[in-house]
Every structure is written in structure tokens, then in C-alpha cells.
Structure 1
Amino acid sequence: MLHRRTLYDDALGVSEPLNETAFDAGLVVRGKHLLIIESPTSSALYHRVASQRFYMNPLATYALPPLSYADYSTTYRQA
């Protein structure tokens, strides 16, 4: 779905301006498109594999723990 933001009514259905905001800013939509150009017999296989790669793609996140290194290492010590 394409997100529309208009400050004036565009007469396309809702009879009011579309000005959805979050945290005093306009909403931002991000996404990816996948284009597979294959024969119909093999496109399902490529679609499944590519979809799983998109969905199961690892996401690396980092955060500083609220503990000192000594406290963290004693609390979460692994054998």
C-alpha cells in the first residue's frame, strides 16, 4: 500500500486531508521489492528461496549493558 500524505482534501474518498503523523513528523514507509524473471515452472522455487532469505536475514543489533564489565561477567558467566 502506498502511503499518501496531503495537506488539502484531494476529493478521492475520505473528505478530509490525509495528514497522518508520528512523533510530529510524517510517516515513513520502507520496504523491498523482489523481481524474479523466470519461467512459470521454476519461478515458485526462486520465489520461495528469495522470500526466506529476505525474511530470515540476520539483523545485528548492539547495546551497552547497564552493568560494569566485572558485574556483567560474574552475572552472565558461561562455563
Structure 2
Amino acid sequence: MTAYPQKITFGEMREIGTRDVLVYCRDPKCGHRMTFNADCWPDDMRLSDIEPDFVCVACGKRGADLRPKFSQAHIGAG
């Protein structure tokens, strides 16, 4: 069984202003990634709680790396 580091909860993610997650395949040779809206998961669930359940549609490997999708920073004139 693969150990997944404990990550923030979906509620904590929403508190910092993001509602979407980036989902990356765990296989470094694959590199497949997708973006999902996270509104379907409860506030007290951690991103790491569901990582083992994902199966990559490109390579079939089980397990994913989920990260909050932050807005792009706007650098320059303001």
C-alpha cells in the first residue's frame, strides 16, 4: 500500500479561495493531468483521502496527486 502525505481539507482549500483541484497521474512516465471542480466533496475530507481512489484514464495506474488549483498571479502594473 502506498502512503500518501496528509493534505489540507477541501474546506480549508475553499477558505483560501479556490474551488478546483488539479489531478496528476502518479506515474511519472505518464504525465496525464486533469482539472476538477471540488464542490462535490465535503469540507472535512482531505485531498489525500481520495488520492488512492483515482485511476488514470490514459495509462490505467491507480493513485493520483491532488493539488488546489490557484489562480494565476498577476505581476506587473496594477
User: TM-score, normalization: structure 1?
Assistant: 0.24
Higher relative contact order (CA 8 A, sep 6+): 2
Higher strand share: 2
Higher helix share: 1
Rg: which structure is higher?
Answer: 1
User: TM-score, normalization: structure 2?
Assistant: 0.24
